[in-house]
Chain A
């Protein structure tokens, strides 16, 4: 059931979002979260380059896939197991710009980890965001386990796991898809294929064009979607979510996309990719593309756009000021929470 983006684009013409069942308000909300994810990320780079914070890892370029797919889920009851690029996913699920900045500055109040983890290692029990570590692909098995628990309790929650095409090479990816396929678990496996795993291009990562083709080996559908087309991402995710809620099992969604920045603030992407290639992809910026669509659809009027810009800027300013001044953990915080019960290790 490979669903092509072109079909999606053809449907609905200028009011695609309405034909997908999205109100103008919802369509604008998606836009605003994409803008916020981007703006926070850009600010982080600025601060990093000024030497005020040691590390940043980016969502830039992948916000369409992230927010489009997250928007098909129900924050609060559904679950996500994101990876480090998924600022768009966690903002949709209820994290705030302040949360992002608190994590970026590794402050005590960082809701993910109390300043213990690098930025991008999201987690919140309250928001149903499964905590992530640095080893790639482990979260796919966690997502399968979360979904198993939903099935055992006969709840209709859906769980989405996000990962890169490099992580798709890990054994855990295979083990998770195999298990979820066997038990027809309500899981969306979302591969954000940006063509590189740090410097390694897809051609050195796998012998196939589409990660989604692997779904056939697990007994569930794989779908390729244009990851820079947020509405197309929303549409395939919504179909996958409906399928999952009907008890028909997982879907592997491969969103073809691109990262605009280097892998992280410690990487120099000029060593392995051409500036021209980056420039070509910047022309396909999912935010610009969606803004153009929304304007043509008559949904994003100038005053609305201005309001959104102001709100986004205001949140970035507030979050930066708040987090930069927030206290660090103290040395006493080093030894807490090794266990839930405060046993001495």
Chain B
């Protein structure tokens, strides 16, 4: 066990998988000598050389399309999109191509590939360096979408994603990179895709979150405990395939659920979680399922007042949780 940051855990995960399996390689903008704009691949270019750590041209469709082709021909590419906000030029390759290779060939082809994308706000990144993209991609059958919130999960899910036979969109929250530290188990520590994790046990209400919001919800649970409210915190970790059983279990256990994400609300992940609860645990509810999300505006503004107004934070979550507890 060692204490690591999220960014260190991601780097270790890539390094260990590249050492373990020669078919694993990294391609993206500035990932080579520079080690990535967030230093996620720091040192890997020196260690593995230019054929396995490839500085791509500034072209996202190229990054993903080339990764698809390499995966067809026996490789396990990690395609890095520099910021999730710039994934749009690659959407055709991700949605129309990667997500459909298995289905459109009735299983003849499969694509063992990972698309890593730094996402999320609270970093003064403004409209184009703050976005949440999980709902758009989680809507697409044929893609797996993961969004770890702790160093151990970041490393373990990255390993699982790299070893997975299908395309995985791996979302790493920029604000957590250096903010969130934690114990990372020695050895493989693979975290299975599709399994949520109860990060804190509780009985009065459930907070369901992922990414940076997990850290905030754990903080809120601590504060609620001081009020004598026992909050359970469920970390989804994987957005799709979503862990229905874990969502239903926590809803049945506490009867009160608050779903939290910074993405905008309309047709978002919280809406899906709420639907799962309505369909499967309605009889166990003691209150309507509630949510705290970013607002329905196109993206996060730069000015700090506006940014704070956009982002869910522990205060906003706490207020909503108290409202729910009081029902």
A interface list, Cβ under 8 A from B: 79, 81, 111-114, 116-117, 121, 123-125, 130-131, 133-135, 138, 140-153, 159, 171-172, 175-176, 178-179, 182, 333, 336-341, 343-345
* Contact among B72, B101, B166 with A145 in the assembled complex (CB-CB below 8 Å): B72
Total interface residues on B, CB under 8 Å, equals: 44
In whole angstroms, how far apart are the Cα atoms of A143 and B92 in the complex? 16
Report chain B residues within 8 Å CB of A147: 69
Report chain A residues within 8 Å CB of B187: none
Report chain A residues within 8 Å CB of B69: 81, 130, 141-149, 159
* 0/1 interface trace, chain B 77-121, chain A, CB 8 Å (1 if under): 100000000000100110011001111111111100000000000
In whole angstroms, how far apart are the Cα atoms of A175 and B165 in the complex? 26
* Contact among B51, B64, B166 with A341 in the assembled complex (CB-CB below 8 Å): B166
Q: Are A340 and B107 in contact (CB under 8 A)?
A: yes
- B282-321 residues with Cβ-Cβ distance < 8 A to A are none
Q: Are A337 and B74 in contact (CB under 8 A)?
A: no
Q: Are B107 and A336 in contact (CB under 8 A)?
A: yes
B194 contacts partner chain A, Cβ-Cβ < 8 Å: yes
**Shortest distance from the beta carbon of B198 to any chain A beta carbon, whole Å:** 22
Given A142-B69, A148-B66, A152-B51, the answer on whether A340 and B166 have CB atoms closer than 8 Å is yes
B270 contacts partner chain A, Cβ-Cβ < 8 Å: no
Report chain A residues within 8 Å CB of B93: 138, 141, 172
B142 contacts partner chain A, Cβ-Cβ < 8 Å: yes
Nearest to A157 among chain B residues (CB) is B73
Report chain B residues within 8 Å CB of A146: 69-70, 72-73
Binding stretch for chain A, among B28-36, B54-62, B154-162: B54-62
Nearest to B108 among chain A residues (CB) is A125
B152 contacts partner chain A, Cβ-Cβ < 8 Å: no
**Shortest distance from the beta carbon of A13 to any chain B beta carbon, whole Å:** 41
Q: Are A145 and B142 in contact (CB under 8 A)?
A: no
Report chain A residues within 8 Å CB of B142: 338-339, 345
In whole angstroms, how far apart are the Cα atoms of A146 and B71 in the complex? 8
* 0/1 interface trace, chain B 107-146, chain A, CB 8 Å (1 if under): 1111000000000000000000000000000000110100
Number of interchain pairs (Cβ within 8 Å): 151
4 pairs of A and B residues whose beta carbons are closest in the complex? A145-B69, A141-B65, A114-B106, A149-B73
B45 contacts partner chain A, Cβ-Cβ < 8 Å: no
* Contact among A79, A135, A341 with B73 in the assembled complex (CB-CB below 8 Å): A79
B40 contacts partner chain A, Cβ-Cβ < 8 Å: no
Report chain B residues within 8 Å CB of A175: 57, 59, 61-62, 65
Report chain B residues within 8 Å CB of A153: 74
**Shortest distance from the beta carbon of A171 to any chain B beta carbon, whole Å:** 6
**Shortest distance from the beta carbon of B11 to any chain A beta carbon, whole Å:** 21
Given A152-B51, A339-B166, A344-B241, the answer on whether A131 and B108 have CB atoms closer than 8 Å is yes
Q: Are A142 and B97 in contact (CB under 8 A)?
A: yes
B213 contacts partner chain A, Cβ-Cβ < 8 Å: no
Q: Are B96 and A135 in contact (CB under 8 A)?
A: yes
Q: Are B100 and A123 in contact (CB under 8 A)?
A: no
Q: Are B165 and A345 in contact (CB under 8 A)?
A: no
* Contact among A121, A152, A172, A333 with B52 in the assembled complex (CB-CB below 8 Å): A152
Nearest to B167 among chain A residues (CB) is A339
In whole angstroms, how far apart are the Cα atoms of A133 and B166 in the complex? 17
In whole angstroms, how far apart are the Cα atoms of A335 and B64 in the complex? 26
Q: Give me 14 other A-B pairs in contact (C-beta within 8 A), A123-B108, A149-B70 excluded.
A: A81-B69, A113-B105, A114-B105, A131-B105, A138-B97, A142-B69, A145-B68, A152-B25, A172-B93, A179-B66, A337-B103, A338-B102, A338-B103, A340-B102
Nearest to B71 among chain A residues (CB) is A145
Q: Are B62 and A141 in contact (CB under 8 A)?
A: yes
Nearest to A148 among chain B residues (CB) is B70
In whole angstroms, how far apart are the Cα atoms of A182 and B27 in the complex? 14
**Shortest distance from the beta carbon of A316 to any chain B beta carbon, whole Å:** 25
* Contact among A151, A172, A178, A337 with B107 in the assembled complex (CB-CB below 8 Å): A337
**Shortest distance from the beta carbon of A83 to any chain B beta carbon, whole Å:** 14
**Shortest distance from the beta carbon of B65 to any chain A beta carbon, whole Å:** 3
Report chain B residues within 8 Å CB of A178: 57, 59, 62
* Contact among A124, A134, A171, A345 with B108 in the assembled complex (CB-CB below 8 Å): A124
Given A336-B106, A338-B102, the answer on whether A145 and B74 have CB atoms closer than 8 Å is no
